[in-house]
Amino acid sequence: MINQKSEDNKSQETELNFSKYAHIYDKHAQLQKLMADKLASFIPINTPEKILEIGCGTGIFTKYLLSLKVKKIFLNDVSSGMIEYMETKLCLPPYSQIIIGNAELLKFQVVDMVAANAVFQWFKDPGEFLKRLNSYIKPNGKLIFSTFGPASLAELRKFGSLESPALLLSSSEWSQLIKEAGFTIDSFARKTHKLFFANTLALLKNLQQLGVAPTKMTSPKELRQLIKNYDDAYFTKQGVYANWELLFFSAKKN
């Protein structure tokens, strides 16, 4: 996740990347697991009867939803590979239903709550998508989600012009889009988290194994220079580091 990429095949590339690394995603998804733990605290005390999870992936956040006493849970993801892997590790109840496809292009049934962990940064038009989500949520229903802020990987962006499909909006930008979509924010949190890697190459490989590596990197020569510069600038006794900005929202439909 470095800079937004605006090509029309964005969704297809994202799907292929996630499916390719689905079998090792959990091993490298430290941030996504931390975000799922925090987002779980945003689940309402009064358990929603019907829930839709957007971008369920390998089920990192799904496990929290499955612990609830609900009548119906819809699990959506763009990657069939991620869904297949999730089914190998989670025992899905009979009241769950899997929906594979790009959530921006799908229609969903009306639910009491929509949840999404570390997903919304992938959408081409998040403002329009939030408005569509509003139509799938019952009156007074909830929307809870986490995403990455623009300070994520700021160190890496200093050393190269790299491209990624992710769209990194600020908390104020997200707040505005949420309000324009017909929601009232009732809870918000922002956290920063620092991850360490043996070296810059290990950092880039971690991004690749999460399916989110820069899709168009620099030339081999420029890439070698980027790795050297980053190693020189950010190496510590614990290895090189990268900072991430994590955003969490809970909103109620007006």
> Which sign, positive or negative, has the C-alpha torsion 121, 126, 132, 134?
positive
Question: Is there a contact between 112 and 49 (Cβ–Cβ < 8 Å)?
Answer: yes
pLDDT recorded at residue 68: 96
pLDDT at position 16 over 90: no
CA distance 36 to 59: 10
Q: Output the six-digit token pair for 214.
A: 């820069």
CA 164 to chain centre: 13
Q: Looking at residues 214-225, what average pLDDT do you find? A: 71
Around Cβ 60, how many Cβ atoms within 10 Å?
Answer: 21
Name the maximum alpha-carbon separation found in the chain.
56
Q: Looking at residues 85-92, what average pLDDT do you find? A: 91
Mean pLDDT lowest among 30-34, 179-183, 250-254: 30-34
| pTM as predicted | 0.87
For the chain, percent helix, then strand, then coil, each to nearest 5? 40, 25, 35
Question: Is there a contact between 94 and 155 (Cβ–Cβ < 8 Å)?
Answer: no
pLDDT recorded at residue 1: 35
Q: CB under 8 Å to 145, separation ≥6 — which residues?
A: 39, 54, 114, 115, 116, 117, 119, 120, 248, 249
Q: Which domains does the chain have, with CATH numbers?
A: 10-253 (3.40.50.150)
